[in-house]
Structure 1
């Protein structure tokens, strides 16, 4: 009977059921997404690990089961383009994941996104980088990081053996241990998930009580026709269960719809396919059982102080003073769980992760438990003061009569804001603790052919082609190497720091002037760049130019002497970052670069800022010389794990605002329901001449007072929790005040929106006809 009431209760009944299903469905969708995160991360991480290479044993030669491979990372209009050149050394060479066979020389396997881009007009410039493109097959999902990845495998005969960038491998893939990240990032993800799920749990408990006032009146009518109290409770439970089951279906549909946009989310090299976003079976079963159980339990719990009699509904009055003793136990318990991690430092493991999640959840739910008591105490004090105008008095009186409903509606906002503030503090502290992000150089673009890719005799060909590319204003070529002092022990690599190597740059005077303040310069000059405590060779010192023993150094002169005329100069600050610092600068006549055995051929270019595709023309010109030549970033800096942090920050911000708007809808429904219940009172006030503006202001105060108290409590709890988490992460306190103000501003917009949207119903109910009765 209760389920029938939920779906056959007329227009108003259907509206209440639809709102309940929508509210529960939104919460279920969030819970299912949270349950799908572990599977999605593990699937993405598994595909990433499947593409890792297994190198052949050191010193081993080619076999029928080995593959030569080199990486070609590039880009196209702010999109990364990843590629690998491969050559099978036998019929049983390992096949890259996502392919059915190794591409033969002249063949290229491409990802679907890259194939579509090359076939479109937008990819015409990129297609010039593949002049003889012959697509052998498309890479399947198993070999891609995400659906939009631009990836290719190119078969070539140019790979003759292992080198600096060429690797001989025996297979692909490593054992998948599941997704792993740094403890700080794990901490941010855990706290962020709790901060989003805690208000969702509060909202679910509120959503199943939509229409509670009307339901009680309907149960009174059932009592009049003979139903006993136990029957009315079972009917109420059945009605709530029907709404919750419809909410489960709605949430499942929303979850399936949201999976598609998730395929555009990337975490560094990781990404997702819609098929990855599958809830864990155990967690999904828990959600499917917990949501209906929560609906029934909350409904029966709400009726414990309601006596449904044949002639109406009697609620326990006067309201009992809310007990305070048990409410602080929740946040105290949360602090007790987090404090050991804060003292000893956070170390990510199963026990520590559960401890952090449970402690954070208890602290946030403690805010929801404290708010009703705080609101009741504040309203009691305000009511006794007798201050304020008629609108204020009406609002305070109404809050005194229905404070529990108001606190229940606002508690979700309080929990959401408190959690968001805490995570914002944590993310700001973690971000400040991580190494600084390298800043790309604004003047120069670097092109490099690494050791063994291009002989020194072809260096001028590379410089000329790059200089002729569209959009290149200035081009300077150079050859760089590492040379060691003469007398380096046999078998010691002069590039080894223990051998005290010196950076060497061979270039013409025009290029060297961009690197250092030379003064006069002519071909044949040599310069020594000072570098603080770092050693530089001195005039007359002999340097070793041959490679280490075992690398075939039998056809080159062994040493070169720094000319006595070498001058000391200072480096330029505007030079490319990878060429600044101490070292040796030589012009071509002073040192013939063909005598070097280990060197890089490079160029640094200044591009036309008005030609946005200049960088693409440079990439194309480099690819036509040799596919292994590419643009390289030498700015350095530590590796950051801030892709996940950025996603957590943006996801938290968007989720917090969505939860605030969601709870605002629930607050609006509660306000409209209360207005319906007060229809006769509103008509009486209108008949006595009460201005409509007074009643509108009373609704504003009635919404603003609980929200203001909730935001104050949320700010205090969020800052306290954030400081505790920062101490756990050993990070500095750097509040993100713009983000905090944005959250509070959203809460203010919710207040104004609820007031504005409830005014039309208020005007309609304030009519003398509302006093008629039968």
Structure 2
């Protein structure tokens, strides 16, 4: 009988004891008087800020899917090939434009029957002269800032407002213009039968996936470090209370369970606080638009699977951090052995994290970005390990920095007080600053990746000044009106020069392309020659034609050497003539045509100056029935809104005109915008972590209230202690920032190599990030001074 075991009662007793210890720790978190409530409130606030960011990140998939679904719902479904008009068909043409670097998406519509499809967000199609606009566009048109944009729709009246289901985000500028001038399907005009193309979903390319993954990791790793710091607030007071419990008979395992229960209670309050902050911020978030991107409050919904992982992860982080903190703290009945000199920190295992990250990323940097889930997992793990390596190396580096001044013996009294305090509690200091260093390193790496991906000019672009190009594609404006179009644009405010040209194609008359591509045999015709008709001043911009006069024709061979020959018979615009069944015009190249070459570099981006170049007197533009009409403009950089005047003039010529700027400034401006946006996001993360640093310093000051009172009673100047607090916050930050900058540059170089681009650091953004971190230190010190003055009172030495 004595050898029989009774496992069930033992297991039940153990479970009850564990629950009782955890419950006692939770009671300490909420019933410890004002001190306990302040400590729990600090923990809940810190955890809540991190949880709110995690919930926002968990909402990104639902947010993107909602915007993509609404975007696809308004895409057009073309009618069957060869189908004629019906009572359910609609003619439409794109009419996109822009206003002060904000895209304005437009579409011209004309119903061919009473049951024509209606775009999502509208109850009926706008009629001729009517305009349906999004709420943001309507507000802009009614405001004084949109007066120039309103001139683009001079004879249209707003009759409807597009509802949310027809927009991708609240700030989107969209309009539908009713018309009766769309006669038949043509190039740029198509017949559709429905809205809502349900084809293949959009799949981002490898560079976009790389940017998204790295950005998410760079955002979430500092938040994880911040959470691990927040759950450790009030550690010293907790340890003294545990020592009192040891005095009344609790063993070490019991004290650890009580500490875990206290941390668990703070984390639970933090989860509730984070959920409240997240719900309260959904509606204001809809009013924020960055880079013409925004969200609907209904889209900001956390993914259920990710949320199910966030809750236990935060609770486990709280319990694990509490137990990990106590691994080198000996809680005895007579006190806490914390002030003994800790063992020397080892560097080798801290370097294993970045080494593993480099091992995961280096093969991709050498062999290319790769694709698939396995490549994405390696990228995420490698980036996260490298960023966590900053937090792992920082404590060792801080110990090395504060140990050296102590050996030299130099410096002021405030410096010695700060250094001595850092020697006693360097772990807490490094822990509070590690979030800032990780955030700076991640922001620098993502900034390098973005700048390297967006700042390079496209192929064919040069460093010459940018052109502004106005295009009327595929006969939107008759070629006979080229001179009129050029005159109107030249008269617009801010236009210095205007060059008009007509661009089409020609094929040798001996072998025309087959009318039906399916019927084309093996002997297909060669590629058509580009044809450009313009005056001599314009032709000189495209190719080195030399002497030029009315009636001249030039033949410029391309890289393949193909060019028409003098006396050759050509079919003009053979491809465009099929849509309306016209007989294509024929034209013979004059035997006086002179050969020339294209410019070594394209002076006009997108145009290489090859093919057939002719003046209007030699080749009448009217023979090119379906040609593109283009005006190349030089704008006065000192005229405000010159590009807007050009867009207004082009819209009066034809609503289907396309206006865009060409040349290197476009990509450089985009890279600058993205870089500034990234700096703003990184600054927001630094401010968030600065709040955690402030809470940490306040908590440490409260822990040292009796010591500060003793120093004040001994006559220590308050300014000396204030400078000491400044040194205590500045030394870890100044130590961590060079480490973060170097780490971020190394990680950014690896990521840029993976993307196949050369590294291009943006030193101004790096300077802004480091300056923000320094400002956070000064702000934390300034906000801590009122509490410091309050604690420096002699009555703080009174005991009862």
Fold agreement, TM-score > 0.5:
yes
Return closer, same or farther for 1:318/1:169 CA change in 2, 3 Å cut-off.
Answer: same
> Which SS does the other structure have where 1:633 is aligned?
strand
Give the C-alpha shift of residue 168 in structure 1: 2.6
Select the residue among 423, 437, 441 that pairs with 1:414.
437
Q: CA 1:764 to 1:735, structure 2 compared with 1: closer, same or farther past 3 Å?
A: same
- Contact 1:52–1:172 (CA under 8 A) maintained in structure 2: yes
Instruction: Please say if residues 451 and 675 of structure 2, whose CA atoms lie closer than 8 Å, have aligned partners that are also in contact.
Output: no
> Equivalent residues in 2 for 1:420-439 (5 A)?
420-431=443-454, 435=458
**1:189 CA drift (Å):** 2.1
- Asked if structure 2 preserves the Cα contact closer than 8 Å seen for 1:516 and 1:572, the reply is no
Verify the 8 A CA contact 2:469 2:660 in the aligned structure 1.
Answer: yes
In structure 1, the residue matched to 2:276 is: 253
Deviating more after overlay: 242-251 vs 297-306: 297-306
Aligned CA distance change for structure 1 residues 551 and 747 (closer, same or farther; 3 Å):
closer
The answer as to 2:662 corresponding to 1:635 is: yes
Q: Which residue of 2 aligns with 1:145?
A: 168
1:204 Cα deviation after fit: 0.9
Instruction: Give 1:403's aligned residue.
Output: 426
Whether 1:489 and 2:515 are equivalent positions in the alignment is no
CA deviation string 1:455-514 (max 9, x = no partner): 345555545655665666665655443334443435489xx993451423145x776687
Check if 1:54 corresponds to 2:54: no
RMSD: 4.3
Q: Distance in 2 between matches of 1:765 and 1:267?
A: 44
Q: Partner of 2:510: helix, strand, or coil?
A: coil
2:477 pairs with 1:454: yes
Seen in structure 2, the aligned counterparts of structure 1 residues 331 and 688 have a Cα distance that, compared at 3 Å, is same
Does the aligned pair in 1 maintain the 2:94–2:188 contact within 8 Å?
A: yes
- 1:454–1:10: structure 2 CA closer, same or farther, 3 Å change rule? same
Residue among 209, 226, 235 paired with 1:203:
226
Q: Tell me if structure 2 keeps the 8 A contact 1:435–1:638.
A: no
CA–CA distance in 2 between the matches of 1:622 and 1:648? 29
The equivalent position to 1:706 in structure 2, one of 732, 735, 739, is: 732
User: Are the equivalent residues in 2 in contact too, given 1:540–1:561 (CA < 8 A)?
Assistant: yes
What SS does structure 2 have at the residue aligned with 1:498? coil
Query: How far 1:441 moved relative to its partner?
Result: 8.5
Aligned residues between the structures: 769
Moved more, 607-616 or 13-22: 607-616
User: Does the CA-based 8 Å contact 2:507-2:527 persist in structure 1?
Assistant: yes
- The Cα offsets for residues 50-83 of structure 1, whole Å up to 9 and x where unpaired, read as 3333334444444454432211112334432221
Residues 584 and 212 of structure 1: CA distance in aligned 2, closer, same or farther (over 3 Å) = same
1:722 aligns with 2:748: yes
Give per-residue Cα distances to partners, 1:140-187, cap 9 Å, x unaligned: 222223222221222333223221111233443444766632212222
3-state DSSP of counterpart to 1:157: coil
2:384 corresponds in structure 1 to 361
Residues 1:592 and 2:620 aligned together:
yes
Distance in 2, matches of 1:168 and 1:747, equals 57
Matched, 1:666 2:686: no
1:332 to 335, 345, 355: 355
- Is 1:747 matched with 2:773? yes
1:182-201 correspondence to structure 2 within 5 Å: 182-201=205-224
Structure 2 equivalent of residue 278 of structure 1: 301
Displacement of 1:23: 1.2
Paired residue secondary structure (1:87): strand
Q: Distance in 1 between matches of 2:593 and 2:390?
A: 77
Contact 1:433 1:732 survives alignment (8 Å): no
More deviation, 337-346/402-411: 337-346
Q: 1:565 to 1:332 in 2, by over 3 A?
A: closer
Quickly say closer, same or farther: Cα 1:650–1:482, change in 2 above 3 A: same
* TM-score for both structures, normalised by structure 2: 0.82
Change (3 A) 1:649 1:248: farther
Is contact 2:493–2:645 with CA below 8 Å preserved after alignment?
A: yes
Which of residues 574, 581, 589 in structure 1 aligns to 2:609?
Answer: 581
Question: What do the CA deviations read for 1:183-238 (whole angstroms, capped 9, x no partner)?
Answer: 12222221222122112111111112222223334455666778776666555444
SS at match of 1:632: strand
User: Residue 40 of structure 2 aligns to a residue in which SS?
Assistant: helix
Describe the shift of the 1:366–1:538 C-alpha distance in structure 2 as closer, same or farther (beyond 3 A). closer
Unaligned runs of 5+ in 2: 1-23, 517-523
2:18 corresponds to which residue?
none
Q: When the two structures are superposed, what TM-score results if normalisation uses the length of structure 1? A: 0.84
